[in-house]
Amino acid sequence: MPSGPDEPRQGEFDWIERLLRPLTLGAPGALDLLDDAAVIRPREGHDLVVTKDAMVAGVHFLPDDPLDTVARKLLAVNLSDLAAKGAEPIGYFLSVAWPTGTPWSAKVLFAQGLARAGAEWRLPLLGGDTVSTPGPLTVTATLMGEVPTGGMIRRATAQPGDLLMVSGPIGDGWLGLQAAQGLLPDPGGVLAARYRTPTPRLDLIGTLRQFARASADVSDGLLADAGRIAIASGLGVEVALDQMPLSAEATAWLAQQDDEAAARLALATGGDDYQIVCAVDPAERPALHAAETGLTIVGRFKLGQGVGATFENRSVPLKELGWAH
């Protein structure tokens, strides 16, 4: 929609000065967004870790999703990548392609979502770009993080016999999308909120640094992202669907399904969970238990190739592993 006559100007510099500059949180490297570059210096003894994700309206979020939730999700999905690498966030760069005629109020709402998320996760805006487009709305964030030198947790370092572990409930993102589309009952909007505003597992950075041999976040589905670790490591992986942790809401949904194996497979391939899946040395099992990490064993890496799934020790046929871009 075009802006109303009483709305402020919508030029690029107004957007930067009024809405984005406060998001720097005073980070010196942002240079008050007055330059066309930023200065990033990780702490001594640390490596810089960089990740980037884009989200497109109608593809990665629903076109009518509130823009403050879109902003929060944009930062969350990128923070999830950093968490999986064991990296502590430093800040982010933002790129937004606004559809022509986007009202100022929409930009304010988007900035408010960034502000709340940035304050919660202590994540300053360091720079970026904004353009106009015929549509759809496209938002991109590049995040910077740091790890002790040589300490980034890769995908390619799992070993045969390693435990496949996951950090929390699987399937809520997929159920939440259906709830947000009005296809699934969702009292209180609990599931829809888990789809729209996932929580990155920054709380696990220390645990992953201590225990994870290899790691990824669950964005495209548990099977797909476990499979990416396996492929990078030159291994196969088998996932036990009956060991997969579920939320109370997913458990209630599962109880209504006729084919539990097929239903669990749908949860395991749905994506948008933003939990962490990792490979852990079996010898660490007692220490994991003592540390009460909350990680759950859902499978094992093995010699060979490919992804397999079982339910109650029976093989489950796989047509797809998760979301395909």
Q: Which of 185-189, 198-202, 226-230, 317-321 has the lowest mean pLDDT?
A: 317-321
Q: Looking at residue 12, what is its pLDDT?
A: 65
* pLDDT for residue 3 is more than 50: no
| Helical axes 172-180 vs 260-270, angle rounded to 10° | 80
Domain 12-148 has CATH 3.30.1330.10: yes
pLDDT digits (tens, 9 = 90+) for 139-159: 999 999 999 999 999 999 999
As annotated, the residues of the chain forming the CATH 3.30.1330.10 domain(s) are 12-148
In sequence order, the β-bridge partners of residue 138 are: 56, 97
Query: What secondary structure, in 3-state letters, does the chain show?
Result: CCCCCCCCCCCHHHHHHHHHHHHHCCCHHHHHHCCCCCCCCCCCCEEEEEEEEEEEECCCECCCCCHHHHHHHHHHHHHHHHHHCCCEEEEEEEEEEEECCCCHHHHHHHHHHHHHHHHHHCCCEEEEEEEEECCCCEEEEEEEEEEECCCCCCCCCCCCCCEEEECCCCCHHHHHHHHHCCCCCCHHHHHHHHHHCCCCCHHHHHHHHHHEEEEEECCCCHHHHHHHHHHHHCCEEEEEHHHCCCCHHHHHHHHCCCCHHHHHHHHHHHCCCCCEEEEECHHHHHHHHHHCCCCEEEEEEECCCEEEEEECCEECCCCCCCCCC
Indicate yes or no: pTM above 0.85: yes
Closest Cα to residue 79, out of 144, 137, 30, 136? 144
Which percentage of the chain shows pLDDT scores above 70? Answer: 95
* pLDDT for residue 33 is more than 80: no
Q: Looking at residue 1, what is its pLDDT?
A: 31
Q: Looking at residue 10, what is its pLDDT?
A: 55
pLDDT digits (tens, 9 = 90+) for 6-18: 444 556 667 778 8
For the domain made up of 163-315, give the CATH fold: Phosphoribosyl-aminoimidazole Synthetase; Chain A, domain 2 (3.90.650)
CA distance 279 to 158: 6
Sheet holding 138-148, edge to edge: 46-56, 138-148, 88-99, 125-133
Q: Looking at residue 255, what is its pLDDT?
A: 96
As annotated, the residues of the chain forming the CATH 3.90.650.10 domain(s) are 163-315
Cα separation values, 285 from 38, 167, 217, 293, 323, Å: 43, 15, 21, 11, 31
Largest Cα separation within the chain, whole Å, is: 67
